[in-house]
């Protein structure tokens, strides 16, 4: 096999070796003077018969060609095909893309390979892997004779620990995404001297040698050889994995000093097979490379990898890479998390440990010490994750033995994965024990159906129980294990847009222009699928991301009823998915049911800053805990009230009980969580009474809560929220004149006063836990329970005030989700009724300034064709309804007046407004026709543009520029429609 041609195809070999190596006799150093080993040369061509002549312990190929940088393998070289460092093998690689197939355990022998027999070998692997219940997907490998003569980075490692392999995969993928070619190898796993010679030539052809060091590296002869070699070339870059630089001192290792080396230290040069002096020289060589200071300790993986990539890019002269990483890091620091970390987070240690176990398959660090004993998870023979209804869920699980809080052993598990399903099967036969029956009606408890180590977890619970807090704490605690935390709001109307908003972090272009094929016109559905697949492709690389879907409302998307699973990357990869939902079940997964806080934790949350209540008051707090439903949200509000006000629990309980409950027309699924917890709603009213008592009957804080329910379920700017609150109509109309007069007299001071009032009101909401702060400056967020209650509270004119504030001050690029919320209120999407009725003048302004720009941006920038077209269709219907009202005869007293006898329609009363309405409708029709042109729906576009031309001819005339432009669009549509008919006709 030729390294330059296909180093990435080397299989791993057993870790043992019979070769005794030393620096003086090693074939590695003698090869430097060999005529067959010329550094930095491209003359090390091997015979064709040597290609793929490799025996491997792990050759199960699994690669997705769509996960490469370009999505298309380079037909001229094998450098675009790489291999992931899986937990079973480590492959040398020379590739620039980040498409890395993973290897799992099997065995095979590659002989002489030609183009015409490659498919036969692939099929042989398919049969072999199927027989072992393992996964396969073919790799598009080009068999050209290209050979890479040099590499930017050689990555040497030794070990098979899952976390270590995950870190190595990530480092390599990040380097290659930034355009640095890599060669990865665990030399201890190869026994063939010819392969060692090829790897050694790759080492010499590398600009830098990155060695990932662990405790076991110092007893590995190959790592010592690599240390000596790269130290002599002065291009050694050590990365200390679970080590400190100060730990790697020769004296401490030899003398077994320190907690680390008491077990792993000693005369490690014996394993090296060489001399003590040479081993010490190799380890001392790390001191000369101390300028790098790259330590991959638990909790700093991300920083270590980004620093390593930045330093290597600087040393290689890749200034553009450094600038790109700097900008990306600045963006991540500001926008990664939606909320700041809750410094007063209480409890949930068991849930956090279990989430870590579900996602990673193991626990480590502090979580291991805090780990509470999990319930036994026995085997399920066929557990399917997917939407296939033909598969039945057969449950066969083995009971686990637990003694003294520790697990005796783990059952080996093999995963079988396909595009539509993931199955978990055990390598051991199931053993059942008949449960002891103590009575006639005794039943065996059904085991929980959790899936461990596949990178997806789901948390479910009631609204306000703390699901978001748990996910946020997990994300902050483990964010260094991922390149980035990607937070997505899971509300069904917004989830697709939130998913496509990830393009800026993933550096993906989802614009509709990229979905146009020159050979044929793609449909709208194909263009949307292409945009989603680009985001999915980036998430399916070997670079780990944590995708958090918070408050998933439905398994199906609201717009087209497609499953949310279609948005997510394939399970089992490096990217992990964490979901919170109120649904009892998601994607055939058994979610982690979030329980209530313990009594001690709930009491600590309610007491707040006051810790010395008498026993009687503690009993009252327990009563309040039960009445509030033990919801974390209610407990936090109680604690805030007791901390902010001089009031004891008994008086607070009496105040809540005396408040009359509001009479709502409870209906719908949304109202269920409110209807079953009236006490929590009364607690909200206590907060409103506190705000009104502090600021008067029209407290800005109270009105901000009232109007929050009509905004989108996203962070709201305080200024926009306050503006909407100010626009809520007053109950007493007589005071409006005096208020307006007072504002006009104090107009010079209004801005500073309003900002002061806004900050005070938002601060009050945050202190009483009715809102939570956002990482965006001057933004706040409201819990879904509070938003639902605000909508049900039903103050007149609140929704109209929200529409006015958003239309007048919202930015399309920064507040698009709130602009969509306005559209939902105005046009009644789906079966929803129209909530806000506008005057014609207001409607025209919104259509021109808001609706058209929003639709075009949604279509062109995010490829959300269906949503944009539906918005324009409903907008057209609204304009046509307004036009119909204009031409309808007036049936009012004006008809009967002698002075106004001839006038019979609103169009005659307001001719300018009617013409503007008609021209606006023509503009919307033309926009729809142009968008139909991009989706290949020429017949619909032709009909729309003809209507627009008729309106413009009637009002503006044939020679008007807008009419001429519409005619040009019509001619293009006519020509394309004729071409389609010509090609489809028999």
The answer to whether position 603 is within a domain reads: no
592-593 and 108-109 beta bridge pairing: unpaired
pLDDT tops 80 at residue 234: yes
What mean pLDDT is predicted for residues 352-380?
62
The answer to whether position 672 is within a domain reads: no
Pair of tokens at residue 540: 């399916």
Put simply, whether the predicted model's pTM sits higher than 0.85 gets the answer no
pLDDT of residue 291: 78
Same domain, 844 and 978: yes
984/425 Cα distance (integer angstroms): 50
pLDDT of residue 731: 64
What mean pLDDT is predicted for residues 468-489?
95
What mean pLDDT is predicted for residues 273-285?
85
pLDDT tops 90 at residue 920: yes
Same domain, 468 and 325: no
H or E segment and range at residue 807 = helix 798-809
Write down which residue in 544, 577, 593 finishes a domain. 593
pLDDT of residue 379: 40
Same domain, 317 and 185: yes
The answer to whether position 735 is within a domain reads: no
pLDDT tops 90 at residue 475: yes
CATH code (residue 566): 3.40.50
The answer to whether position 710 is within a domain reads: no
Which candidate, 944, 966, 971, places its Cα nearest to that of 955? 966
Cα-trace Rg, the chain: 34
Mean pLDDT of all residues in the chain?
A: 75
pLDDT tops 60 at residue 342: yes
Confidence band of 64 (pLDDT split at 50, 70, 90): very low
The fraction of the chain above a pLDDT of 90, given in percent, is 40
Tens digit of each residue's pLDDT (9 = 90 or more) over 412-457: 434 344 434 433 333 333 333 334 444 444 443 443 455 666 788 9
pLDDT tops 60 at residue 377: no
The answer to whether position 954 is within a domain reads: yes
pLDDT of residue 880: 93
Confidence band of 929 (pLDDT split at 50, 70, 90): very high
The answer to whether position 300 is within a domain reads: yes
pLDDT tops 50 at residue 833: yes
Confidence band of 801 (pLDDT split at 50, 70, 90): very high
The answer to whether position 495 is within a domain reads: yes
With contact defined as beta carbons under 8 Å apart, do 475 and 546 qualify?
yes
pLDDT of residue 288: 81
Tens digit of each residue's pLDDT (9 = 90 or more) over 290-335: 777 899 988 899 999 999 999 999 999 999 999 999 999 999 999 9
Q: How far is CA 711 from CA 298, 384, 811, 902, in A?
A: 40, 38, 14, 46
Number of domains within the chain: 3
642/690 Cα distance (integer angstroms): 12
Q: Which of 100-114, 173-187, 852-866 has the lowest mean pLDDT?
A: 100-114
pLDDT tops 50 at residue 750: no
pLDDT tops 70 at residue 681: yes
C-alpha torsion angle, residues 20, 23, 27, 32 (rounded to 10): 170
Same domain, 460 and 330: no
CATH code (residue 203): 3.40.50.10140
Tens digit of each residue's pLDDT (9 = 90 or more) over 126-165: 344 333 333 323 323 232 333 567 899 999 999 888 899 9
pLDDT of residue 904: 64
What mean pLDDT is predicted for residues 543-554?
94
The fraction of the chain above a pLDDT of 70, given in percent, is 68
268/278 Cα distance (integer angstroms): 12
Residue 434 makes CB contacts below 8 A (sequence gap 6+) with none
pLDDT tops 90 at residue 722: yes
Tens digit of each residue's pLDDT (9 = 90 or more) over 240-267: 999 888 888 888 888 888 888 888 888 8
Confidence band of 936 (pLDDT split at 50, 70, 90): confident
576-581 and 545-552 beta bridge pairing: parallel
What mean pLDDT is predicted for residues 923-950?
93
- Count of CB atoms situated within 10 Å of the CB of 105: 15
Write down which residue in 314, 334, 354 finishes a domain. 334
The answer to whether position 357 is within a domain reads: no
Write down which residue in 562, 593, 624 finishes a domain. 593
For residue 481, the enclosing domain spans 456-593
pLDDT of residue 693: 86
More confident: 184 or 792: 184
């Amino acid at each position: 096999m030729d390294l330059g041609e296909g180093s990435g195809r080397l299989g791993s070999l057993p870790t043992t070796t019979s070769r005794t190596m030393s620096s003086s006799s090693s074939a590695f150093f003698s090869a430097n003077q060999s005529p067959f080993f010329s550094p930095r040369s491209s003359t090390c061509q091997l015979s064709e018969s040597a290609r793929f002549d490799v025996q491997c312990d792990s050759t199960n190929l699994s690669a997705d060609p769509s996960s490469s940088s370009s999505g298309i393998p380079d037909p001229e070289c094998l450098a675009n095909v790489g291999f992931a460092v899986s937990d079973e093998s480590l492959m040398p690689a020379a590739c620039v893309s980040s498409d890395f197939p993973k290897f799992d355990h099997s065995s095979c022998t590659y002989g002489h390979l030609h183009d015409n027999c490659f498919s036969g070998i692939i099929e042989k692997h398919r049969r072999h892997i199927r027989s072992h219940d393992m996964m396969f997907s073919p790799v598009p490998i080009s068999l050209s004779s290209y050979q890479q003569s040099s590499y930017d980075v050689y990555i040497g490692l030794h070990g098979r620990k899952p976390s270590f392999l995950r870190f190595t995969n990530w480092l390599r993928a990040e380097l290659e995404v930034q355009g640095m070619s890599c060669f990865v190898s665990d030399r201890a796993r190869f026994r063939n001297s010819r392969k060692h010679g090829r790897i050694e030539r790759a080492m010499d052809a590398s600009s830098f040698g990155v060695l990932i060091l662990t405790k076991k590296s110092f007893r590995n002869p190959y790592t010592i050889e690599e240390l000596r070699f790269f130290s002599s070339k002065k291009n050694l870059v050590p990365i200390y994995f679970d080590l400190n630089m100060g730990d790697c001192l020769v004296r401490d290792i030899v003398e077994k000093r320190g907690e680390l080396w008491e077990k792993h230290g000693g005369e490690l040069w014996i394993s090296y097979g060489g001399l003590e002096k040479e081993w010490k020289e190799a380890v001392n060589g790390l001191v000369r490379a101390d300028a790098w200071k790259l330590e991959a300790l638990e909790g700093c993986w991300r920083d270590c990898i980004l620093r390593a990539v930045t330093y290597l890019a600087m040393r290689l002269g890749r200034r553009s890479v450094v600038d790109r990483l700097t900008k990306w890091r600045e963006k991540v620091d500001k926008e990664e998390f939606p909320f700041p970390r809750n410094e007063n987070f209480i409890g949930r240690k068991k849930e956090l440990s279990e989430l870590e176990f579900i996602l990673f398959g193991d626990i480590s660090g502090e979580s291991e010490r805090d780990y509470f004993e999990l319930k036994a998870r026995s085997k399920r023979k066929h557990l399917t994750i997917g939407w296939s209804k033909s598969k039945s869920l057969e449950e066969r699980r083995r009971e686990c033995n637990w003694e003294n809080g520790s697990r005796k052993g783990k059952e080996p598990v093999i995963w079988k994965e396909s595009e539509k399903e993931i199955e978990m099967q055990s390598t051991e036969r199931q053993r059942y024990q008949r449960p002891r029956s103590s009575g006639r009606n005794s039943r065996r408890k059904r085991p929980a159906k959790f899936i461990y180590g596949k990178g997806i977890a789901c948390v479910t619970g009631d609204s306000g129980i703390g699901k978001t807090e748990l996910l946020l704490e997990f994300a902050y605690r483990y964010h260094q294990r991922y390149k980035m935390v990607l937070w997505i709001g899971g509300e069904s109307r917004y989830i697709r847009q939130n998913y496509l908003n990830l393009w800026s972090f993933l550096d993906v272009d989802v614009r509709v222009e990229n979905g146009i094929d020159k050979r044929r016109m793609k449909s709208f559905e194909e263009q949307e699928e292409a945009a989603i697949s680009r985001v999915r492709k980036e998430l399916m690389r070997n670079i780990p991301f944590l995708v958090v879907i918070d408050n998933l409302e439905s398994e199906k998307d609201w717009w087209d009823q497609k499953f949310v699973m279609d948005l997510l990357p394939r399970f089992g990869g490096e990217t992990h998915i964490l979901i919170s939902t109120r649904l009892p079940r998601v994607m055939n997964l058994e979610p982690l049911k979030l329980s209530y806080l313990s009594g001690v934790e709930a009491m600590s949350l309610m007491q707040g800053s006051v810790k010395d209540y008498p026993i009687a008051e503690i009993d009252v707090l327990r009563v309040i805990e039960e009445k509030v439903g033990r919801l974390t949200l209610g407990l936090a509000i109680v604690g805030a009230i007791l901390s902010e006000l001089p009031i004891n629990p008994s008086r607070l309980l009496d105040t809540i009980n005396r408040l009359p409950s509001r009479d709502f027309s409870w209906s719908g699924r949304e109202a269920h969580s409110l209807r079953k917890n009236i006490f929590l709603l009364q607690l909200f009213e206590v907060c409103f009474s506190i705000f009104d008592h502090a600021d008067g009957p029209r407290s800005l804080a109270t009105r901000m809560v009232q109007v929050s329910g009509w905004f989108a379920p996203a962070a709201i700017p305080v200024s926009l929220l306050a503006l909407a609150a100010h626009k809520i109509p007053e109950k007493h109309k007589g005071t409006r004149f005096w208020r307006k007069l007072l504002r006009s007299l104090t107009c010079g001071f209004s801005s500073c006063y309003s900002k002061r009032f806004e900050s005070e009101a938002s601060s009050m909401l945050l202190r009483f836990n009715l809102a939570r702060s956002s990482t965006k400056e001057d933004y706040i967020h409201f819990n879904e329970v509070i938003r639902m209650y605000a909508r049900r509270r039903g103050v007149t004119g609140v929704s109209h005030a929200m529409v006015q504030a958003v239309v007048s001050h919202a930015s399309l690029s920064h507040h698009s989700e709130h602009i969509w919320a306005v559209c939902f209120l105005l046009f009644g999407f789906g079966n929803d009724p129209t909530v806000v009725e506008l005057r014609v003048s207001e409607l025209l302004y919104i259509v021109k300034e808001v609706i058209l720009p929003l639709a075009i941006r949604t279509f062109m920038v995010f490829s959300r064709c269906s949503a944009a077209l539906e918005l324009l269709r409903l907008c057209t219907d609204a304009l046509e309804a307004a036009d119909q009202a204009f031409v309808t005869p007036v049936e009012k007293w004006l008809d009967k007046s002698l002075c106004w006898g001839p006038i019979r329609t609103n169009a005659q009363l307001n001719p300018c407004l009617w013409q503007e309405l008609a021209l606006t409708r023509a503009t919307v029709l033309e926009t729809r026709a142009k968008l139909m042109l991009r989706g290949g729906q020429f017949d619909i576009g032709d009909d729309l543009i003809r209507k627009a031309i008729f309106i413009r001819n009637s009002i503006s005339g044939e020679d008007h520029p807008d009419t001429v432009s519409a005619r040009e669009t019509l001619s293009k549509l006519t020509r394309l429609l004729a071409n389609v008919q010509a090609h489809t006709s028999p």
